[in-house]
Amino acid sequence: MTHALGCTEEDLRRLAGARSFERGLGYLAAVSRLEIGDEAITATVDGTDAYEVELTEDEDSGLTGWCDCPYGREGNFCKHCVAVGLAVLRQAESVPQQRSAAASRTRLLDGWLESRTREELLALVREQLSDDRDLRRRLELRAAAAGEDTGIVRERVLSLLDTRPFARYGYVEYADAHAYGRQAAEAVTALRALTADGRSADAVEVAREALRALGRTYGEIDDSDGLIGDVATRLAEAHLDACRTARPDPVETAEWLVRYLLSEVNDATDIDLFDYREILGEPGLARARALVVAAWRANPKGWAEKYLMERLLKADGDSVDALVEVHAADLAPNGHTHLVIARELEAAGRPGEALEWAERGLRETASEWGPDSNLVAFVCERYERADRLADVVAVRRNLLRARPSLAAYQHLRTAAGAAGTWQSVERTGALEVLKAVAQPKKGRWYDGSLLVDALMDDNDLQPAWQAATDGCADERQWLALADRIRDRRPADALSVYLRWIEPLRKQTGDSTYERLAELLLSARACQRTLGTEAEFATYLAALRADQKRKRKLMAILDQHGL
């Protein structure tokens, strides 16, 4: 049945999703300050922070919810909205009366305010300002924006962006970032008010200072939710809108823009030089081009200089050769830049030159991690299209020799398989490469060998077992081998399981106990195949007697029927 809220618990579940709905059930007791108005329902829900929630209903869209928690600000019907909806449904019978009462209060308040004199209303506002610091601050800012003294607005805007009141240890932590973001957002309101009041030129200047101020401190804020980044974007939009109205000097504007975009304070915003195309006109764009080219030639490896130069060339439709020149001035050691160049050339209809650059990238790779995997794929795909399968094999073979890995072995196997040379030629050489590095290497994430991994990947289990027996396997590999041979060679697999059970007898912890149970189950399966279950029963009884003080282990063994 649909309640006075206009929805049911099932509707809340549908809006929020099963997970958020279930979590919302746990927040029902955290709902406070619930107020059912004639148009909206508001409440506070105590979670990681005290979150403000608003539910509204519309004939077309139905129930919608807003919450200032991180998930809610992304437009989701969050667990806090669910909690408020559930709280309202718990008192559904009284909702119509509460709404009617709210509407009556609104009409009464409107009528009373309209009957007050100007002096009485001023007195009322002043009374509220003395008790509500946030309201006072907002109105002070609006008054300054409507006044003549731009200095007051500038000072107030910069104070709103000052992180010091929120930085406990010189850094605005996550818990304080939301409050700072709400305050900083008022700076955007002030700038837009300046423009709306016919003072767009002032808004341009103040916005520039605001962007620099926020950019200088952005790195000292935990902006995990992106709230401050959103404020920075809105500041940039306010600056752009003010420029559209004020029409500042195009050359001076170009100079400011390029300086700003090349500076470190630009990290917080996403300003695009060409969003200002209309404002700059040809004189401003010409000046911007000259400054960008000069900056890039002075520092061709600078990220900002390189990005702006690339953006300039693409926007102006310059030749691909100019773009190649920009990228070629700073080639990445792993060949990624060669790949960027190759893709630009291929898109320009020059596939031969594209492949030459990609091949050059493979030759010139100087990274200890080898060439960019996408670069390798690019070259190999072009070779395959041209039916140059032997060249694909050569690339994959060289990579395996230079930096042996299971992935490199697999890629070579695939390439040589397509060329028909894997079993006849390439596999023997590839395994020789892996044998040369078969002994454990210090610093690897496990102590096994690539040789065992490759042989198991080939499902060549007898050579893999022999390599492991020769000392080239770690626990992971031994157990993987045991699992693979258990049905055909149960005695060998059993010896592996029993060997790795022993060290676990001296360890504690839930994960250890689960691992021990898993190995015992594998050992029992082997002895069933061998027909020696009685031996396993004796072994298990002795283990339980030895480990009987570990009550959690005993419980886990019982759960697994051991």
- pLDDT at res. 6: 66
- pLDDT at res. 2: 39
Residue 213 belongs to what H/E stretch? helix 200-217
Domain stop point among 59, 89, 115: 115
**Inside any domain, residue 21:** yes
Going by C-beta distance under 8 Å and a sequence separation of 6 or more, which residues neighbour residue 215? 232, 263, 264, 265, 266, 267, 268, 269
**Inside any domain, residue 169:** no
- pLDDT at res. 444: 40
pTM above 0.75, yes or no: no
**Inside any domain, residue 139:** no
| Tokens describing residue 37 | 């108005």
**Inside any domain, residue 87:** yes
Q: Which domain holds residue 500?
A: 486-562
Residue 277 belongs to what H/E stretch? helix 277-298
**Inside any domain, residue 378:** no
DSSP string, 392-440: HHHHHHHHHHHS--HHHHHHHHHHHHHHT-IIIIIHHHHHHHHHHT-S-
**Inside any domain, residue 250:** no
**Inside any domain, residue 511:** yes
Amino acid at 467: A
Mean pLDDT by runs of 10 across the 562 residues of the chain is 63 88 89 87 86 84 84 85 92 84 86 90 85 72 66 85 86 85 88 88 93 90 86 92 94 95 82 91 92 91 88 79 87 92 92 94 88 94 95 94 92 94 92 80 56 92 89 85 91 92 88 90 92 92 90 89 86
Report angle CA 197, 110, 3 to the nearest 5 degrees: 110
- pLDDT at res. 3: 44
Structural domain count, the chain: 2
Domain stop point among 72, 93, 115: 115
**Inside any domain, residue 533:** yes
- pLDDT at res. 510: 86
Domain stop point among 115, 137, 158: 115
Q: How far apart are CA 493 and CA 542, in angstroms?
A: 21
